[in-house]
Amino acid sequence: MAWTAVALAADLGVGDVAGTRIDGEEIALWRDAGGTPHAFEDRCPHRGMRLSFGFARGDRLACLYHGWQFDGAGRCRAIPAHPDLSPPATITLRRHRCVERAGLLWVAFAEAPPPADAPAWPVLSLFLDRPATTREPWRERIAGTPLLLAPQPRSPTQSAWHVVALAPPADAAALRAALHARRRALERFADEQPAASERRHAMAGSSHLRSAREAG
């Protein structure tokens, strides 16, 4: 499966910027003023700042550090430190393929036929402290509602499921409750594995907090 779902389409509004990961690769997602979603390498080519900390300006994404602006094609369009100069077309960042299908945002690192589209109703994204067990989306009926569940391997120890309904949910509250219960059960199971290192990784930054403790 070349395409990976990374978010519900409804969770990335116009002008939103968000960070995500596929197999540990950091990605900046953003949606431009025209409604088109984009997925960039989460790193400004200027000085390495994560672009997921940046901000959307119309049809461009600006880096928080020095305000360098990139258009939807990933091309640098403005360098504020040199406001009168126009950046050459060769200054670009790494951009991934990004499409909106079946109420989900999908990202691919390589060319592949786009995922199937279908009418869909947003449900929620579940973020799990356990690895993805599959890369293939699957269909399942939960609480009387037919669902599409699209897995996202985020890191060796963390994943997400992005869930949309393929028909208007019969009982939305029951559906969400069932999904949260599923997540809790899966994580409990993961906790029973000999996976101390997994939990350590699950908490980004905990290692520096431990070192901070040593610092007194």
Among residues 172, 158, 186, 177, the alpha carbon closest in space to that of 122 is found at 172
Q: How far is the CB of 32 from another protein (least distance, A)?
A: 13
C-alpha 129: how far from chain center: 15
CB nearer another protein, residue 110 or residue 215: 215
Q: How far is the CB of 76 from another protein (least distance, A)?
A: 8
Q: Which amino acid is at 103?
A: G
CB nearer another protein, residue 102 or residue 175: 175
Among residues 1, 43, 8, 4, the alpha carbon closest in space to that of 126 is found at 8
CA distance 103 to 126: 15
Q: How far is the CB of 105 from another protein (least distance, A)?
A: 11
Q: How many beta carbons lie within 10 A of that of residue 31, not counting itself?
A: 22
CA within 13 Å, CB half, 97: 15
CB nearer another protein, residue 110 or residue 209: 209
CB nearer another protein, residue 122 or residue 135: 122
CA distance 39 to 32: 11
CA distance 10 to 68: 27
Which one-letter DSSP state was computed for residue 52?
G
Q: How far is the CB of 168 from another protein (least distance, A)?
A: 14
Sign of CA dihedral 55, 100, 204, 92: negative
CB nearer another protein, residue 62 or residue 108: 62
Q: How far is the CB of 113 from another protein (least distance, A)?
A: 27
Q: How far is the CB of 64 from another protein (least distance, A)?
A: 6
CB nearer another protein, residue 50 or residue 77: 50
Q: What are phi and psi of 196, to 5 degrees?
A: -60, -40
What does the binding site for another protein look like in residue numbers (CB under 8 A)? 7-8, 11-13, 15-21, 26, 42-43, 45-50, 53-56, 62-67, 79-85, 88-91, 124-125, 127, 154, 160, 172-173, 176-177, 180, 203-206, 208-216
